[in-house]
Amino acid sequence: MRLHKGIMRGVFSILLVPALFSSGVFAQERKEITIAPQILQQYAGVYELAPNFKMMITVEGNQLMAQASGQGRNPIFAESETKFFFKVVDAQIEFLKDQSGRVSSLVLFQNNREMPAPRISDKVEERKEVDISPAVLAAYVGAYELRPGFDLVITLEGDKLMSQATGQGKVPIFAESETKFFAKVVDAQIVFLKDAAGAVTHLMLYQGLAEIKAPRK
């Protein structure tokens, strides 16, 4: 469980930044091999690292991708048919099969620790983008205080809403409803809240296990 807590300590530093875990010293050079796409497809799904903290595995073309709850999506590379490694951090994933040959779990290896994760779904749910008028989007423009000295600034560029946390780069957010938005470079969602008069007063940021209510400044 200490690994999970260590991941979550970086929730603000990885906000809207497509990095997976805190980087460390790489113990060895790993050799990448090619795996057939039909084999990679067997690994796609959702794996539960801890309650409400998941690892999503997807296939993009011939590339296997891994994304932990609240974090960015990163490629993982095969060193055998079942063992994969990250290049952005010293961490590895091994997929395990049950007696029938079905992929039933994975094990995440990082910092000399092992975290088993059972497979809880064969499909990663994709969020669907909808069109929202620029007039509605403009109502969300402003600065929202996530914590003292750390804001999330929302701007409108053309017909696209942009978010920028203090000290970080701009990232577009996409509407899935008139008030609910999501980032694509990291697993994070934003919901805008209104008062009885219809004025936007707060936003809620959901990232991993974090739920942060930020008042509009």
Give the CATH number of the domain where residue 53 resides: 2.40.128.50
151 and 196 within one domain:
yes
- Same domain as 210, residue 148: yes
66 and 169 both lie in a single domain: no
Within a domain: 143 = yes
In terms of domains, do 112 and 179 share one?
Answer: no
Tens-digit pLDDT profile for residues 64-119: 999 988 888 899 999 999 999 999 888 999 999 999 999 999 999 988 889 999 99
Residues 48 and 141 in one domain: no
Mark whether 39 and 101 lie in a shared domain: yes
| Rounded distance between C-alpha atoms, residue 93 and residue 91, angstroms | 7
- Given this model, what pLDDT does residue 28 score? 61
Q: Are residues 117 and 160 in the same domain?
A: no
pTM beyond 0.75, yes or no: no
> 3-class DSSP state for residue 15?
coil
25 & 85 share domain = yes
**Statement to judge: residues 182 and 116 lie in one domain:** no
Is residue 129 included in any domain, yes or no?
no
**Which residues of the chain are under the pLDDT cut of 50?**
1-27
Do 39 and 81 meet the contact criterion of CB atoms below 8 Å apart? yes
Residues 92 and 163 in one domain: no
Instruction: Establish if 126 belongs to a structural domain.
Output: no
Sign, CA dihedral 126-171-174-207, equals positive
Amino acid in the structure at residue 52: N
Domain that holds residue 152: 134-215
For residue 14, the model assigns a pLDDT of 34
Q: Do 142 and 200 reside in the same domain of the chain?
A: yes
- Structurally, the chain folds into a number of domains equal to 2
Domain boundary (121, 143, 166) is at 121
Are residues 173 and 115 located together in one domain of the fold? no
